[in-house]
Chain A
């Protein structure tokens, strides 16, 4: 069992390209202006790969994975 991780976004860097929500709709939706709303829950083991891909392919390098199970849904970076 690996340590829990969760998604976080740096909203200063984020430009609302929306790639993350396409790659990981299970955990990321978009708000009314196209910026990611993150599910606050820990990334399930089955979605670790997709989560890593979403982080890796963020064109603004704004998305990251951090240690910890719970957190704010907004992820303030």
Chain B
């Protein structure tokens, strides 16, 4: 599958992009906007940043908003397990820019702000300069380096970063329509709502505007159509970023990544969806389609497309404790229950992983109490809860002073 990612990684210039995809069709005509947004809806495109929100709903709400919005392309990708946005921006920056500019035309926005991971800043800068020289874009495009933290990619944190240089959630989740996020106060912008879209979503949008809904839906599962980027991590022979049809079986994804780097039958568990994802028994998950509906039997969803493979020889509890501590340290530090709750949960899990005394009843109580202005604590709690389900037998081993990682 290579819609977003070109087969060869050589030509990411504007000329190479145009040779591959052709010109970006204009979509600024106000009479056509509604029709084009309907086409995006028929395509069934959903946000690829993890929340899977229908893109057309956001576009339609922002197109009706006043003052006119700003489009913010979210290429922050603070999640350490995920690389797909960085790879996409590195190999196909112009496709993302086409989508961002297209979204600006569809919503009447007067500016595009690209917020990108520092690893790809130069590439995006270069692409924007090429377009400026060629005069391709009807709206100004600005590039900003994202803050290098986990939480910086949360939608309200991205707006906060653009507006004030503070990469912390604001507690005002994206509201649709004119009452949405306000950019302003700096004098540079009139206050207005912001359309925040993940960069992969924008790349898909660029292709839908070119080829239409039927083309987009011609691959993938009918309920959640199209292709998606995934990051394969952990015990596979070729970890990295791949483009797949939605609904591809989990087992086939592991084969795509070179197969499991573990003896046959020795796959222990999979962390599906990234650090806010869900642990699942490998045996139960392997035949399932990689889509929200397909993964429902193991309580998982694709999230931002991360899948980490854990061999049976590794300790899932140790891995969970490590991730939980990372997430606790990644709290923006604004909400007490997140600051104290995640730290307390991580502490208990570290004791459990190390074979010390751990009160799981207390951990479950805390999992129900952590909360905050954004979904950071909730996402962490869901991941930990899935770990305690899947690694229950391992927890019993630990309670008796054993660990499967230490067994011969």
Q: Do A and B bind each other?
A: yes
CB < 8 Å neighbour of A32 from B172, B173, B365, B374: B365
Judge whether A76 and B373 touch: CB under 8 Å: yes
CB-CB under 8 A for A74 and B371, given A10-B171, A11-B171, A33-B341: yes
CB < 8 Å neighbour of B171 from A15, A16, A34, A77: A77
- Top 3 A-B residue pairs of the complex, sorted by shortest distance between their CB atoms: A74-B371, A11-B335, A33-B340
Chain A: residues with CB nearer than 8 A to chain B?
A: 10-12, 14-16, 31-35, 37, 74, 76-77
List B contacts of A14 (CB < 8 A): 335-336
Distance in angstroms between the alpha carbons of A33 and B345 in the assembled complex:
13
Distance in angstroms between the alpha carbons of A60 and B82 in the assembled complex:
38
Judge whether B369 and A37 touch: CB under 8 Å: yes
Interface residue B366 (Cβ < 8 Å from any Cβ of A): yes
Could you tell me how many residues of chain B have their Cβ less than 8 Å away from some Cβ of chain A?
Answer: 19
Identify the closest chain B residue to A16 (Cβ).
B336
CB-CB under 8 A for A12 and B373, given A34-B336, A35-B337, A76-B173: yes
Interface centre among A14, A34, A35 (most CB of B within 10 A): A35
Distance in angstroms between the alpha carbons of A14 and B172 in the assembled complex:
15
Distance in angstroms between the alpha carbons of A32 and B373 in the assembled complex:
18
Taking CB atoms and an 8 Å cut-off, the chain B residues in 161-181 that contact chain A are 170-173
List A contacts of B371 (CB < 8 A): 11, 74, 76
Judge whether A11 and B373 touch: CB under 8 Å: yes
CB < 8 Å neighbour of A12 from B334, B344, B369: B334
CB < 8 Å neighbour of B337 from A10, A33, A77: A33
List A contacts of B335 (CB < 8 A): 11-12, 14
Interface residue B212 (Cβ < 8 Å from any Cβ of A): no
List B contacts of A15 (CB < 8 A): 336
Judge whether A76 and B372 touch: CB under 8 Å: yes
B328-339 to A contact mask, C-beta < 8 Å, 1/0:
000000111110
Judge whether B373 and A31 touch: CB under 8 Å: no
Distance in angstroms between the alpha carbons of A34 and B369 in the assembled complex:
11
Interface centre among A10, A31, A77 (most CB of B within 10 A): A31
List B contacts of A37 (CB < 8 A): 369
Identify the closest chain A residue to B172 (Cβ).
A77
Judge whether B171 and A31 touch: CB under 8 Å: no
CB < 8 Å neighbour of B336 from A11, A76, A77: A11
Distance in angstroms between the alpha carbons of A12 and B171 in the assembled complex:
7
Q: How far is the CB of A34 from chain B (nearest CB, A)?
A: 7
24 contacts between A and B (CB under 8 A): A11-B334, A11-B338, A11-B371, A11-B373, A12-B170, A12-B171, A12-B334, A12-B373, A16-B336, A31-B337, A31-B341, A32-B341, A32-B344, A32-B365, A32-B366, A32-B369, A33-B337, A35-B336, A74-B337, A74-B372, A76-B371, A76-B372, A76-B374, A77-B171
CB < 8 Å neighbour of A10 from B341, B369, B373: B373
Identify the closest chain B residue to A77 (Cβ).
B171
Distance in angstroms between the alpha carbons of A46 and B172 in the assembled complex:
31
Taking CB atoms and an 8 Å cut-off, the chain B residues in 316-374 that contact chain A are 334-338, 340-341, 344, 365-366, 369, 371-374
Given contacts A12-B372, A12-B373, 8 further A-B pairs with CB under 8 A are: A11-B337, A12-B170, A14-B335, A31-B337, A32-B341, A33-B336, A76-B373, A77-B172
Distance in angstroms between the alpha carbons of A77 and B374 in the assembled complex:
9
List A contacts of B170 (CB < 8 A): 12
List A contacts of B340 (CB < 8 A): 32-33
Identify the closest chain B residue to A33 (Cβ).
B340
Distance in angstroms between the alpha carbons of A33 and B341 in the assembled complex:
8
Distance in angstroms between the alpha carbons of A14 and B373 in the assembled complex:
11
Judge whether B372 and A11 touch: CB under 8 Å: yes
List B contacts of A35 (CB < 8 A): 336-337
Distance in angstroms between the alpha carbons of A20 and B337 in the assembled complex:
16
Distance in angstroms between the alpha carbons of A12 and B374 in the assembled complex:
10
Judge whether B341 and A77 touch: CB under 8 Å: no
Distance in angstroms between the alpha carbons of A16 and B337 in the assembled complex:
9
List A contacts of B372 (CB < 8 A): 11-12, 74, 76
Q: How far is the CB of A28 from chain B (nearest CB, A)?
A: 14
Interface centre among B171, B338, B373 (most CB of A within 10 A): B373
Identify the closest chain B residue to A14 (Cβ).
B336
Judge whether A76 and B171 touch: CB under 8 Å: yes
Distance in angstroms between the alpha carbons of A12 and B156 in the assembled complex:
13
Q: How far is the CB of A13 from chain B (nearest CB, A)?
A: 8
Q: How far is the CB of A8 from chain B (nearest CB, A)?
A: 11
